[in-house]
Amino acid sequence: SQTIHQWPATLVQPVGSPLSLECTVEGTSNPNLYWYRQAAGRGLQLLFYSVGIGQISSEVPQNLSASRPQDRQFILSSKKLLLSDSGFYLCAWSDGQGGHYGYTFGSGTRLTVV
């Protein structure tokens, strides 16, 4: 069966520090991968998605970047965190059919920038 792992679960970082959140998927190949963010009082905002190794689509201009160095690995990064980067970050995967069977989300990372 397929599983998705996301870590860390919580993170407190000072403003201006770097960020690296990692997500891996097991039990499937060539998944579509996604990073979403849930900010306080807001919905789930799509940040990045990837349909293959090295293929990254950015949905909103921001202080973050994403990379997919391996088929089942998706990394969210920042060189210098801002207070506005605080939120709940979720990684998700779907099959190559575009997710018509739904996404499977990871358990999320609560990021607090102080």
Partner 1 sequence: DQQVKQNSPSLSVQEGRISILNCDYTNSMFDYFLWYKKYPAEGPTFLISISSIKDKNEDGRFTVFLNKSAKHLSLHIVPSQPGDSAVYFCAASASGTYKYIFGTGTRLKVLA
Neighbours of 49 (CB within 10 A): 21
Is 7 near partner 1 (CB under 8 A)? no
Cα–Cα distance measured from residue 80 to residue 106, given in angstroms and rounded to the nearest whole number: 24
Q: Which among 14-22, 46-54, 63-71, 74-82 is the span making contact with partner 1, rule CB under 8 A?
A: 46-54
Q: Of the two residues 16 and 60, which places its CB atom closer to partner 1 in the complex?
A: 60
Cα–Cα distance measured from residue 14 to residue 54, given in angstroms and rounded to the nearest whole number: 29
Neighbours of 24 (CB within 10 A): 19
Q: Of the two residues 28 and 88, which places its CB atom closer to partner 1 in the complex?
A: 88
Q: Which positions lie near partner 1, rule CB under 8 A?
A: 6, 32, 34, 36, 42-46, 49, 51, 57, 59, 88, 90, 92, 94, 98-108, 110
